[in-house]
């Protein structure tokens, strides 16, 4: 599992890397300075050496004492810093050591002690370049060791203090915050306080401690806000539910009123059957259906016989009552798919859908008989005349009604209380009296 990144470790690593870099640069500078100093020391050493041997060499060269010269040069060569020696005098050149491999380090002219001094030879000293490195080895090791030790000590100090002062408090803060989850907060402020007590008090007054306290306070405030928000949401939901319920009631009332209005607009108020408008609408629709789907359709027009006389004898109220009862009697014998409506006055039209002429010829006499036999509660007999016609191709509302009206007219003129049928649009009639 990937370990989470730690800001303390990052800080320590950065500080350590910066310190190491600076230490390395300073150590390098210190080493360079030491190197230069050591070079100066070597030059001074060679000058002092030359100085020490100079008088003896000048004397030996002046005396041309070869053995003395050799002894002196060998003595110089035996010194650890000298790698080679060369002496030029009186046309000779004496060389000792590994001269070819090294650069000359010090050149000294030998003089005869006259006034002015007279040059009698030239002494050149060669030194190994590694001699400086060899001399500086230990100081360099001490320098590097010192820098590394200091860096290591810094790393350990930083790690310990960083963890103790920043890492652990931050970890504790993270722990507190992760425990203050929404589930706890939803339980309210008292629970938050109790949880804070369980987690223990936040010690100290540094930034981390202040941050921890601020988070605890923020947790409490968040819990309160969330609770208030939930209360608000709850109230809002209740209000919305109440408004929805009221709206549903108003909608139901509106629908009921609409239905009542629709009923009123399509119903005859006296008899409760379809009014003229509704009848025309039904008839037009049915004619369209017959046209399109080649269906059959019949209509029956009926009119109460001598209704004026009934009105005159028993009054309009009784007349109304007769019309109402007439509708109830007719309805008993009709199908649910048929439509009974008041065409006007005491005239009623029956639209018998999907009913051919043969069926209607049987239905109309049944209706006539039912009216005749019904007890309207009057001393006078109440009868009605019936006209029957059926739809034929290309009939429209006007032509179909004209046919059925003509049939009714024949029933009236033929003596009333009878059924007359119009069988063709041209008016060839087959009258029937029941
Ligand atoms: N009570 C009542 N009478 C109505 C209503 N509508 C029309 N009438 C009456 O019905 C009578 C119809 O009379 P007429 O058209 O002469 O017909 P009728 O007396 O029935 O004679 P025939 O139809 O020829 O048998 C009139 O007196 C109208 O006033 C109504 O809604 N209620």
What residue spans define the domains of the chain? Answer: 7-133, 180-266, 276-422
pLDDT of residue 272: 95
- Nearest Cα neighbor of 348 from 314, 391, 387 is 387
Phi, psi of 15 (to 5 degrees): -60, -45
Give, using CA atoms, the residue closest to atom 9 of ligand 1: 308
Whole-angstrom Cα distance, residue 193 to residue 18?
A: 44
For ligand 1, is residue 54 a contact (CB within 6 Å)?
no
Give, using CA atoms, the residue closest to atom 5 of ligand 1: 345
What's the CA-to-centroid distance between 307 and ligand 1, angstroms?
Answer: 5
What's the CA-to-centroid distance between 367 and ligand 1, angstroms?
Answer: 20
Active-site entry in 45, 58, 286, 346: 346
For ligand 1, is residue 243 a contact (CB within 6 Å)?
no
CB atoms within 10 A of CB 360: 22
For ligand 1, is residue 286 a contact (CB within 6 Å)?
no
* Coil/strand/helix, residue 136: helix
pLDDT of residue 404: 97
Task: Return the exposure string of 321-339: e unless at least 16 CB atoms fall within 10 Å of the residue's CB, then b.
Answer: bbbebbbebbeebbeeebb
* Coil/strand/helix, residue 326: helix
What's the CA-to-centroid distance between 287 and ligand 1, angstroms?
Answer: 29
What's the CA-to-centroid distance between 374 and ligand 1, angstroms?
Answer: 19
Is 359 marked active-site? no
pLDDT of residue 18: 87
DSSP state letters, 251-301: HHHHHHHHHHHHHHHHB-TTTSSB-HHHHHHHHHHHHHHHHHH---EEEEE
For ligand 1, is residue 312 a contact (CB within 6 Å)?
no
Tens of each residue's pLDDT in the chain, 434 residues: 555 667 777 887 888 888 888 888 988 898 889 888 888 888 888 888 888 888 898 899 888 898 999 999 898 888 877 888 999 998 888 988 877 777 788 888 989 888 888 899 999 988 877 777 877 888 888 888 888 888 888 888 888 888 887 777 777 777 766 766 655 555 655 665 665 665 556 667 777 677 767 776 776 677 778 888 999 999 999 999 999 999 999 999 999 999 989 888 999 999 999 999 999 999 999 999 999 999 999 999 999 999 999 999 999 999 999 999 999 999 999 999 999 999 999 999 999 999 999 999 999 999 999 999 999 999 989 999 999 999 998 899 999 999 999 999 999 999 999 999 997 654 434 444 44
Greatest distance between any 2 Cα atoms in the chain? 194
Closest approach atom of ligand 1 to CA 345: 6
Q: Give 76-120 as a 3 state SS string.
A: HHCCCCCCEEEEEECCEEEEEECCCCCCEEEEEEEEECCCCCEEE
Domain 276-422: give its CATH code.
3.30.70.270
Antiparallel, parallel or unpaired: β 118-126 and 92-97:
unpaired
Equal fold, 7-133 vs 276-422: no
Token pair, residue 98, equals 């590994």
pLDDT of residue 159: 84
Closest approach atom of ligand 1 to CA 317: 1
Architecture of domain 7-133: 2-Layer Sandwich (3.30)
- CA distances (Å), origin 422, targets 155, 260, 261: 121, 38, 37
For ligand 1, is residue 263 a contact (CB within 6 Å)?
no
pLDDT of residue 76: 87
pLDDT of residue 427: 44
For ligand 1, is residue 304 a contact (CB within 6 Å)?
yes
What's the CA-to-centroid distance between 246 and ligand 1, angstroms?
Answer: 49
Q: How distant is the alpha carbon of residue 339 from its chain centre?
A: 60
For ligand 1, is residue 306 a contact (CB within 6 Å)?
yes
For ligand 1, is residue 316 a contact (CB within 6 Å)?
yes
pTM for this one?
0.52
pLDDT of residue 177: 67
């Amino acid at each position: 599992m990937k370990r989470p990144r730690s800001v303390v470790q990052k800080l320590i690593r950065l500080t350590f890397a910066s310190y190491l870099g600076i230490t390395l640069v300073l150590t390098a500078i210190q080493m360079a300075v030491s190197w230069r100093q050591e070079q100066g020391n070597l030059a001074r050493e060679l000058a002092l050496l030359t100085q020490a041997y100079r008088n003896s060499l000048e004397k030996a060269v002046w005396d041309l004492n070869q053995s003395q010269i050799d002894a002196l040069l060998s003595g110089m060569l035996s010194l650890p810093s000298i790698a080679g020696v060369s002496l030029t005098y009186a046309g000779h050149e004496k060389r000792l050591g590994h001269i070819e491999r090294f650069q000359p380090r010090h050149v000294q002219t030998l003089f005869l002690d006259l006034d002015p001094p007279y040059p009698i030879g030239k002494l050149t000293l060669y030194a190994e370049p590694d001699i400086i490195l060899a001399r500086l080895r230990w100081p360099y090791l001490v320098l590097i060791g010192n820098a590394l030790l200091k860096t290591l000590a810094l790393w350990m100090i930083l790690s310990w203090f960083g963890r103790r002062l920043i890492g652990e408090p931050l970890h504790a803060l993270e722990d507190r915050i992760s425990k203050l989850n929404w589930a706890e907060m939803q339980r309210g402020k008292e629970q938050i306080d109790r949880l804070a007590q369980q987690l223990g008090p936040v010690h100290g007054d540094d930034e981390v401690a202040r941050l921890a306290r601020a988070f605890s306070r923020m947790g409490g405030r968040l819990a309160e806000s969330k609770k208030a928000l939930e209360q608000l949401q709850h109230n809002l939901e209740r209000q919305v539910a109440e408004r929805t319920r009221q709206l549903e009631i108003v909608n139901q009332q509106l629908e009921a009123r609409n239905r009542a209005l629709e009923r009123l607009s399509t119903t005859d108020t006296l008899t409760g059957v379809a009014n003229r408008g509704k009848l025309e609408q039904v008839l037009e629709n049915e004619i369209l259906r017959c046209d399109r789907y080649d269906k059959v359709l019949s209509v029956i027009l009926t009119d109460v016989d001598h209704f004026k006389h009934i009105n005159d004898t028993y009054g309009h109220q009784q007349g109304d009552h007769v019309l109402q009862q007439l509708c109830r009697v007719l309805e008993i014998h009709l199908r649910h798919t048929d439509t009974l409506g008041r065409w006007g006055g005491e005239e009623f039209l029956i639209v018998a859908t999907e009913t051919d002429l043969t069926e209607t010829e049987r239905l109309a006499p049944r209706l006539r008989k039912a009216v005749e036999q019904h007890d309207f509660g009057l001393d006078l007999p109440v009868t009605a005349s019936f006209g029957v016609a059926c739809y034929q191709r290309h009939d429209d509302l006007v032509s179909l009604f004209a046919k059925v009206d003509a049939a009714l007219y024949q029933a009236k003129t033929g003596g009333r209380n009878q059924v007359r049928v119009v069988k063709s649009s041209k008016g060839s009639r087959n009258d029937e009296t029941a």
